[in-house]
A and B are shown apart, each in its own frame.
Chain A
Amino acid sequence: MLTILFDGIAYGMLLFILAVGLAVTMGLMNFINLAHGAFAMVGGYITVLLMQQFDVPFLLCLPLAFLGSALLGAVLERTLYRPLYHKPHLDQVLFSIGLTFMAVASADYFIGSGQQIVQLPEWLKGRTELGDGAWMLGMGHYRLFIIAVCAALTVALQYVLTKTRFGSRLRASVDDQRVAAGMGINVNVVFLTTFAVGSGLAGLGGALGAEVLGLDPSFPLKFMIYFLIVVAVGGTSSITGPLLAALLLGVADVAGKYYIPKLGGFIVYSLMIAILIWRPQGLFVRKGGK
Chain B
Amino acid sequence: MSNTQNLLRQTGRWKRWEIPLWLLALVLPLVLPEHALIINEIAIVALFALSLDLILGFTGIVSLGHAAFFGMGAYSAALFAKLVMPDPLVGLAVGIASATVLGALCSATILRGTDLTRLMVTLGVALILGELANKMDWLTGGADGLQGVMMGPLLGQFEFDLYGRVAAWYSLAVLLVMFVLTRRLVNSPFGATLKAVRDNRLRAMAIGIAVNSRLVLVYTVAAALAGAAGALLAQTTGFASLDLFEFHRSADVMLILVVGGVGWLYGGITGAIVFKLMQDAISSITPQYWTFWIGLFLVVLVLVGRERLFRPWTWLGKRKTGGAA
Interface of A toward B, CB cutoff 8 Å: 26, 32, 80, 83-84, 87, 89-91, 93-95, 97-106, 108-109, 221, 224-225, 228-229, 231-232, 236, 262-266, 269-270, 272-273, 276-277, 280-281
Contacts and interface: CB of A to CB of B under 8 A. Distances in A.
Interface stretch (B42-50, B174-182, B223-231, B291-299): B291-299
A27 to B, nearest CB: 9
A100 B292 CA distance: 9
B121 A94 contact: no
A276 B120 contact: yes
B62 interface: yes
A276 B301 CA distance: 32
A105 B298 CA distance: 14
Contact of A264 (B115, B131, B288): B131
A90 B64 CA distance: 10
B277 interface: no
A282 B262 CA distance: 29
B292 A272 contact: no
Which 7 A-B residue pairings sit nearest by Cβ, starting from the closest? A280-B113, A98-B298, A101-B295, A105-B292, A102-B295, A95-B302, A280-B112
A87 B303 CA distance: 10
Contact of B135 (A106, A221, A266): A266
A265 B134 CA distance: 11
B258 interface: yes
Interface stretch (B10-18, B122-130, B236-244): B122-130
B124 A272 contact: yes
B131 A266 contact: yes
B39 to A, nearest CB: 26
A95 B131 contact: no
Contacts of A106: 292
A277 B62 CA distance: 16
Contact of A101 (B64, B298, B303): B298
B132 interface: yes
Contact of A270 (B123, B128, B297): B128
Interface in B117-158: 117, 119-121, 123-125, 127-128, 131-132, 134-135
A80 B303 contact: yes
Contact of B297 (A98, A225, A231, A236): A98
A105 B119 contact: no
B289 interface: yes
A221 B247 contact: yes
B291 A90 contact: no
5 contacts: A99-B299, A109-B292, A232-B116, A273-B109, A277-B112
Contact of A108 (B119, B127, B289): B289
Contacts of A84: 302-303
Contacts of A104: 291, 295
Contacts of A263: 131, 135
Contacts of B113: 276, 280-281
A228 B294 contact: no
A233 to B, nearest CB: 8
B251 interface: yes
A126 to B, nearest CB: 34
A131 to B, nearest CB: 34
Contacts of A272: 120-121, 124
Given A80-B299, A89-B115, A269-B124, 7 more contacts: A32-B119, A94-B302, A97-B251, A101-B295, A228-B120, A272-B120, A276-B109
A109 B292 CA distance: 10
B142 to A, nearest CB: 12
A229 B117 CA distance: 9
Interface string B21-59: 000000000000000000000000000000000001000
A108 B120 CA distance: 27
B56 to A, nearest CB: 8
Given A105-B291, A273-B109, A90 B134 contact: no
B108 interface: yes
B169 to A, nearest CB: 33
A263 B136 CA distance: 10
A281 B113 CA distance: 6
A242 to B, nearest CB: 13
Contacts of A270: 124, 128
B254 interface: yes
